[in-house]
Amino acid sequence: MRDRNVKSRTFFVRTIASVLAVIVLVFAVSVGAQDAPRVGLKIRTLTAELRKQNNLPEATRGAVVTAVTAGSPAQEKGIVTGDVIVEAGGKKVATARAVAKSIAAGSASGSVYFKVMNSKGEASRRDGACP
């Protein structure tokens, strides 16, 4: 009888711990989502293969835009899939991570600008909000 009580208590404690862990995880994810700046871009570091697929010069470095969220600040500023971000926040960027860091830094001021190259090799500046 005593063994049965110990097993049921152990099961009960583990269940409560699991539920609390899920609650903490959900809370942490929701808080992180609120704090992270969003401009509505999905990007990847520009590789040799992506450069070839997008007919870009070999010297081009940056992050290629793989998706733009409808109604996002990025879409409102005219950034489209296939554009390459070569500069973010006034600094040249070579990776998607560098772009993400510039966006995070720009969230303090509320905006960040990008120098974007299209598939024709034409560069233009796009200002964007960081909510």
Each residue's pLDDT tens digit, 38-95: 788 889 999 999 888 878 888 889 999 989 888 888 888 888 888 899 998 888 999 9
What does the pLDDT read at residue 105? 80
The pLDDT of residue 93: 92
Q: Are 57 and 69 in contact, with CB atoms under 8 Å apart?
A: no
Please give the structure tokens belonging to residue 35.
Answer: 């704090």
Of residues 102, 99, 131, 127, the one with CA closest to residue 113 = 127
> What is this structure's pTM?
0.66
